Every structure is written in structure tokens, then in C-alpha cells.
Structure 1
Amino acid sequence: MRESRLKLTAGFTTLLIISVMFIVPFVWLLRSSVMDLSQIFIMPPQWIPKPFHFENFKEAMTVVPFGAFFKNTLIIVAGVLIGTVVSSTIAAFGFSRIKWKGRDMVFAILMSAMMLPGAVTLIPSFLGWKELGFYDTFYPLILPSYFGGGIFNIFLLRQFYMSIPQDFDEAAVVDGATYFQIYWRILLPLSRSAVIVVALFTFLGSWNDFMGPLIYLKSDSRFTLALGLQMFQGSYNAQWDLLMAASTAVVLPCVLVFLIGQRFFLEGITLTGLKG
């Protein structure tokens, strides 16, 4: 009994320490976003701003064209979200519910590609998109999601689909259903939680993507929010108060989306591992 209590106490203590490690940087961001520049780096740190400078948010939104950056980011995120969900669900359906020669071998090759570093394909991909005339456009950031949707997403959805009994498919085939009807009317409704997990991962990844827009976008008018944040940092100084305010504004949608979809996120992650 005493040993179990010690283990429980140790577990909660570990979780508390890890939680503090993740929460402190976020609290630092929030307090710095409403502070004067001279207050941010005071030692010892001042955690409560005196006074609160909420005008930092208004100034940050006007110093750089954040409205245009927000619009560009929404266009990219929406395109990537639709492409990823559609392509990854279809690919996962093919790898889990349709029997065809060499299916498992192709899936194994696909999984092995997860170990390939992104830097290996970075230059060939850039040269290819540039030759197609798509440099400084949104196409290199959106179109790849329609041709695969991400290996991890396919794996996640495949594992979930395999946990659904094949009896549903057999009954649907007896009733004259096609593969597409099985996918659309049976698998998708039953896998709502897993699809939402994929959508959450995709949204967060696309919203916070910095490397992709940095490589493929040149014009300031096409910049995303992630690229726009670097405009607060010059060669010799940085507007830290405005940068923190702008960063807070960029982070908040991610926090809200996660809080809204948290239940589906946890449910989807849990159910995905029920059957291999």
C-alpha cells in the first residue's frame, strides 16, 4: 500500500514538473506581450506587468500587414487540410480494406520512407517546382497534400480502419455497395475521431510551418504569419514587445482549435491503437 502511494506521488510529481516546463514559456510569452520593452528582460523577472500595455497588439497588427498574412495562411491551411484528409483517408482505405497483390510490400516501402530526412528531398523538390513555374506561389505548399497526405496520417488511419470489423464491408457488398460507397458511407462516419486527429495535426503543422513558405515564397505580399513574425527582428535590434504580442495572436488560434477538438483528439489516439 505504501509502495503504491509512493509510486503515485512520484508519478504526479513528474507530471507536475513536466507541465511546469511546458507552461512557463507560454506564460512568459503572455506576460511579455502586454509589457513595455524595458520590462521584458528585468532581472529578477517581473511576472505581472505594471502597467498592462494592451496597445502592443494593435501596434503589432499595424506595423506589418498581418491582415494579408492571415489571409495567405488561411488559404494555405484550408487547401492543405482538404487535400490531406481526402488523400490520406482514401490511401488508408486502400491499404486496409481492399486486398490487392503486393499491398503489404507497398505499405512497408511507404513506411520506410518515414525514415528519410526531409533535407534529402528538399533541393530536388525545390528545383522541380521552380521548373514548373510555381516558385513564389502557394502551389508547392498545397498540391503535395493531394498526392499522399502524409505517411504518418495514412498509417494512423489505416490502423483505425483495421480495428473496424470486416463484417460491415461484407454486408455492404451483399447489398450491392461499391468500394467508394463503403468508404464514404461506412468507414468515414465510423472513423470521425481518427479523421479529426489527422485534421488537427495537419492544421497545427500547416499553420506553424515556417520552412516551406521560407523556401517557396519570395514576395512579401504572399508571406504567411510564420514568416511575418520575423519582420519584427532587424539586423541590429528586435521589437520584442511587438513580437511577443504578434506571437500570442498567432498561437491563440492553435490553442483554441486544440481545446475545441481535444475530446476527439484523445479519443482518436486511444482507439487507433486497439488493433494492429
Structure 2
Amino acid sequence: MREKTQRALLTTVLILGAIVMFFPFLWTLSTSFSSGAGLDATPQLIPDQPSFSAYQTLFSELPFARIIVNSLGLAAATAVFQLITSSMAAYAFSRLPFRGRGAVFAVYLATMMIPIQVLIVPLFVQMRDLGLVDTYLGVLLPGVASAFGVFLLRQAMNGVPRELDEAATLDGAGHFRIFGTVVLPLVGPALATLAVFSFMNSWNGFLWPLIILRSAELKTLPLALAGLQGQYTTQWDVMMAGSVVSILPMLAIYLFAQRYVIQGVASSGIK
């Protein structure tokens, strides 16, 4: 009886927590379908007269389709580059013995404690000297490597039995073949986790694109949403429509990859 009571209490707490977490998204979606909604409008979770006018305004008065493509392209490219660089570095730290490996890895991880605000000026100077200001490549380059990604994948690769490497070596395989055909297939959940995290960070990135981009046609989604607040100060339905558009890709990716994310985090030992 006591166990059932505790389970019922825990279930109730989880349901209430889920409602609290879900309510802002429901409010955002509802406001986006409320034509002309503002701060002085009567709060309604279900609009009396649902309308797509906010979405029509969003795509007719702004190059929002181009903005979405910009963000998708940059986020996908960032995810691909981080998967490549992080997996190769993680294999080196996990499988290749060299002097000072632990110290180098510790120093590399220490870079995770440096806030991006500290690096903005030197990064901008580098991009300026390379002639990459106001270019997609200028936005992309600082994010092609990830210390967190290396740590995540190294932890996952450390869980792969070394006996598999030895068996592949006896068959004549080198490090590149072991890396591509033995280790990578066994850390698939960790790779999926890193892909989701890197895509999400690039998709939501605001400060660095704000510093490096100048042209309106190169803007990413967070910059466009920030611009909506100035252009449509009282048109909260338009702002919420933009927020809904920005949420949908991440929601779809998470629903598709949540199983792999949970497996990847669990196998890497991150709590």
C-alpha cells in the first residue's frame, strides 16, 4: 500500500511538472494563431477565431524561408564537422598511446570553462584578417571543433572492448580501418547525441552570428527573431509565429533521436 501511494505521488508530481514545462509552448502556439494578439489581449489558450495571418505576415514581409535555410545549412554543417573532428580526436585520446596524453586531454577539456564572450574579440580579429566577416564560413569555422564532443565520444570509445581492436589488428587492420569499421559503429548512440547537441547549439546560436554577419540575406533564425521584436513590438502573434517556426525543427529532431540521446548519455557516464 505504501509503495502504491509513493508511486501515485511521484506520478502526480511528474504530471504537474510536465504541465508546467509544456505550458509556455502551448501559450506560444496559441498566441501565434490569435490575430492581432498583444500584451493587452485577453489571455486565451484556445483562440476564438484562429488565423494564419501571423504566419502570412512572417513569410510575406520577411525573407523567412531564406533565413530558415541559412540556419538549417549552418546547423547541419556544424554537426557534420563536429562529428568528424570530435570522433577522430576522441579515437586518438582513447586508443593511441602517446606521452602526455592525459595532460593534453585535461588542457583541452579546460577550454570548456572559457566563456564565448572572452573569445569574441580574438575570433573576430582572426575572421577579419582572413576576410571571412559577413560570410557563412566565418560563422562556421569557430564551431568545427568541440571539446564537449571529444569528451563525450572518448568516454563512449573507452567502453568499447580493446579485444576487438586486437582482433582487427590480427586481421591486418590499421588504425583508420579500426576507427571506421570497429569503433564508430559501436558508439552510434554517442554520435547521435553529439549530432543533436551540436545542431541545437548552432540552431540557437545568437551572439557569434550577430557579431560576424552584416547582410540581411545571411541572417540566421535567432537574429531574425530578435529583429521581429523591434519591427513588430506590439504584434506578439507574429513574434510567436516566428518562435513556433524555430521550435519545430528541434522538436522533430529530438522526437526522432531521443532514444539515441538517452543511450549515448548513459553509455558515456554523463549524469
Counterparts of 1:19-98 in structure 2 under 5 Å? 19-38=18-37, 41-43=40-42, 45-98=43-96
1:208 aligns with 2:204: yes
Supply the AA of the counterpart residue of 2:105: F
Counterparts of 1:134 and 1:222, CA distance in 2: 13
Between 1:157-166 and 1:64-73, the stretch displaced more is 64-73
Counterparts of 2:6 and 2:148, CA distance in 1: 34
**Identity fraction in percent:** 35
Task: Please provide the CA RMSD for this pair.
Answer: 1.9
Q: Contact 1:193 / 1:267 at 8 angstroms: preserved in 2?
A: yes
Counterparts of 1:249 and 1:18, CA distance in 2: 25
Shift of 1:87: 0.3
Task: Provide the TM-score with structure 2 as the length reference.
Answer: 0.93
CA distance 1:236–1:63, shift in 2 (3 Å): closer
Counterparts of 1:38 and 1:17, CA distance in 2: 28
Supply the AA of the counterpart residue of 1:172: A
Supply the AA of the counterpart residue of 1:270: A
Counterparts of 2:193 and 2:241, CA distance in 1: 29
Name the counterpart of 1:129: 127
1:17 aligns with 2:2: no
Size of the aligned set, in residue pairs, is: 270
Unaligned runs of 5+ in 1: none
Shift of 1:187: 0.9
Supply the AA of the counterpart residue of 2:208: G
Name the counterpart of 1:104: 102
Q: Contact 2:31 / 2:37 at 8 angstroms: preserved in 1?
A: no
Counterparts of 1:115 and 1:39, CA distance in 2: 40
Counterparts of 2:269 and 2:190, CA distance in 1: 11
Counterparts of 1:125 and 1:143, CA distance in 2: 10
CA distance 1:23–1:236, shift in 2 (3 Å): closer
Supply the AA of the counterpart residue of 2:267: L
CA distance 1:90–1:236, shift in 2 (3 Å): closer
Counterparts of 1:271 and 1:252, CA distance in 2: 28
Supply the AA of the counterpart residue of 1:34: F
Name the counterpart of 1:199: 195
Unaligned runs of 5+ in 2: none
Shift of 1:246: 1.8
Q: Contact 1:40 / 1:46 at 8 angstroms: preserved in 2?
A: no
1:158 aligns with 2:157: no
Name the counterpart of 2:169: 173
